[in-house]
Chains A and B, each alone.
Chain A
Amino acid sequence: MTQPATPSRPAGRRKFELDPRFESYKGVWVFLEHNEGVVHPVSFELLGEGRKLADQLGVELAGVVLAGDGTAARAFADEAFFHGADLCFTAIHPVLAHYRNQPHARTLTALVNAHQPEILLLGATTMGRDLAGSVATTLQTGLTADCTGLAIDPENRSLAATRPTFGGSLLCTIVTLNYRPQMATVRPRVLSLPTRDTSRRGRVVAVEPDLAEDEIVTKLLEFIPDARRDEASLAFADIIVAGGRGLKRADNFRLLWDLADALGAEVGATRPVVQAGWVTADRQIGQSGKTVRPKLYIAAGISGAVQHRVGMEGADVIIAINPDPDAPIFDFATYGIVANAMQILPAMTAAIHQHMAALKKAV
């Protein structure tokens, strides 16, 4: 395994010309994460963004699939093409059937060294973060975690990765100037999903991973699927009704659930409410919870603290209900109702029921 040596860089000075040994590094790669036979949507979101970066650079976009069997890998590669990839590297080996750090990191590192991409993107999931941290360390390159925006710096063709810092109070743009590949992770639902075009085709580049099960120290004993699939449904819900401390008491959350039933929505919450035990932790939205991108987000009794905002400001339409006209949530909501949520929520539930009944009659 060839490891790029560390080029010297004077402290604090930014050197723009790329070390000649990295000039052969070309192309944008997206690691395709899959669990239980399904590609994680974050991989498609990354392909959508990767397509734009690749076009800007005038290079190819590649998917990377590590899988336990060829049929699954082929299907995943097709999905990569449908979502914008020009080619897809596939590494197939029984050892790769389930995610484990050692074989996955080894295979991905070898692929990078052999085929030399300039950018490598992964989802900021438990898998992507685990894998990216190891691979970047072995490759001795820069990794920017949990990015909210990716762009190409026209001046030097480098990846400008923007991420929140200090809990979202500030944003910073980070570049990896003189190391390749430039690595970044992005949380699910931060980027929008590209349209799936089943007429798109691409090339499969199959590589033989150098693996043997008896060399792998960590063994998977079992996989225990979550009983409830709320996690997935919250992140991908079209409508979310979320409550904060302004709802005052746990039983007032019933008003939210009623509205959620009327709309077919999921229920989300702020951190204090989760900490108070009013709802389960998997419903927390924000910096230390989930990022969501619904079509409609109804925030009741939520002040709009930056740590909450970073998780939900990607919503198309935001309705805020809060009696405090100066609450920060009104700075970025689409519509605001300056009133007591305990009165507005039931009225809204009733109005939606009426609206649906009227629609039914009209049909």
Chain B
Amino acid sequence: MHILVCIKQVPDSAQIRVHPVTNTIMRQGVPAIVNPYDLVALEEALRLKDQYGARVTVLTMGPPQAEAALRKALSFGADEAILLTDRAFAGADTLATSYALASAIRKIQEDMPIDLVFAGKQTIDGDTAQVGPGLATRLEMQLLTYVSRIDGVDPDTNEITVQRRAEGGVQRLRTRLPAVLTVLEGINDMRFATMADMFRAARYPLVVWDREAAGIDDVGKIGLKGSPTVVSRVFAPTARAQKAEIITTQSEQPDDIVATLLAKMFTKHPQLRAAIRPRLA
């Protein structure tokens, strides 16, 4: 089996600050990490490798520094890593991103056909969850998103059975490979990198492809030019017109504070009275 995992290097959004005056993201000093959702996908791929035997290739599109994300993936046990990097890819929205990645994946397939493509559920910087579906469409592979569990792969029939999160329940689906899977967060814990894999990752001669190497001729389909969406405005969320009215009482006793609050609230928002429907203990 040949499994491909698409990963992305993202700024650690927990540490992002917005410049109060210019409303721009202050990236300085913000560490770059592998998109956490992609690590869940990678672990799922590595588990299939443990169980059925597979070659796991990781692919990322990004600036040259994204190399670090690939080495991280190698240290967890990925076998091969390809960095897709070219100035022409800059400014890509999801449509242009899935075009570039799909082109690279076709190129990889020339070497060895791919049975499964994994992508994270979404990224923490863009949050769109669209690249996975885009890849499946472009590669004409079956699409299974929001997978909460892989029940198994049958190498004889070339089929995979999964559980997929849906509204109000879980779908158990079976499909034929090749397929594109996106997985839910929290379905596994990433393994620890072994010493041997860490050494291998550090020494691994990374495969670096530019636009041409990835077999992309049409520059109108990638980067800014290949992106139908345009960001027209970026702004900070507006604060509510008013800050909270702080409820205080002279006694500072909880009972008094609460009584004052409820009296105020029920006068100003009488509709809330009807919303209270106590449950019987």
Which residues of A pack against B, CB within 8 Å? Answer: 6, 8-12, 14, 33, 35-36, 40, 98-102, 105, 125-127, 129-130, 132-134, 136-138, 140-146, 153, 160, 164-179, 217-226, 229, 231-232, 238-239, 260-264, 281, 287-288, 295-296, 306, 309-310, 313, 316-320, 325, 329-339, 343-344, 346-348, 350-353, 355-356
Q: In the complex, A146→B130 CA distance in Å?
A: 11
Known A-B contacts A102-B142, A129-B129; A295 and B271 likewise in contact (beta carbons under 8 Å): yes
Q: In the complex, A219→B130 CA distance in Å?
A: 23
Which residues of B lie under 8 Å from residue A145 when comparing CB positions? 127-130
Which residues of B lie under 8 Å from residue A348 when comparing CB positions? 258, 262
Taking a contact as CB atoms under 8 Å apart, the answer to whether B231 and A174 are in contact is yes
Cβ-neighbour of A125 out of B167, B175, B278 (below 8 A): B167
Minimum Cβ distance to chain B for residue A234 (Å) = 13
Which residue of chain A is the closest to B234 with respect to CB atoms? Answer: A172
0 or 1 for each of B216-256: is its CB under 8 Å from A? (1 = yes): 00001101111111111111110110011111100000110
Which residue of chain A is the closest to B93 with respect to CB atoms? Answer: A142
Minimum Cβ distance to chain B for residue A321 (Å) = 10
Cβ-neighbour of B258 out of A35, A174, A351 (below 8 A): A351
Q: In the complex, A72→B48 CA distance in Å?
A: 40
Minimum Cβ distance to chain B for residue A338 (Å) = 6
Which residues of B lie under 8 Å from residue A179 when comparing CB positions? 228
Known A-B contacts A138-B137, A173-B233; A223 and B255 likewise in contact (beta carbons under 8 Å): no
Taking a contact as CB atoms under 8 Å apart, the answer to whether A160 and B232 are in contact is yes
Taking a contact as CB atoms under 8 Å apart, the answer to whether B221 and A6 are in contact is yes
6 smallest CB-CB distances across A and B, nearest first, come from A133-B133, A336-B244, A142-B228, A264-B277, A347-B254, A142-B229
Q: In the complex, A102→B145 CA distance in Å?
A: 12
Minimum Cβ distance to chain B for residue A319 (Å) = 7
Can you spell out 23 A-B residue pairs with CB atoms less than 8 angstroms apart?
A100-B173, A129-B145, A133-B129, A141-B95, A142-B228, A143-B130, A165-B126, A167-B16, A173-B233, A174-B232, A224-B170, A226-B170, A232-B168, A238-B275, A281-B186, A288-B185, A295-B269, A295-B271, A329-B244, A332-B239, A335-B247, A338-B248, A352-B278
Which residues of B lie under 8 Å from residue A226 when comparing CB positions? 168-170
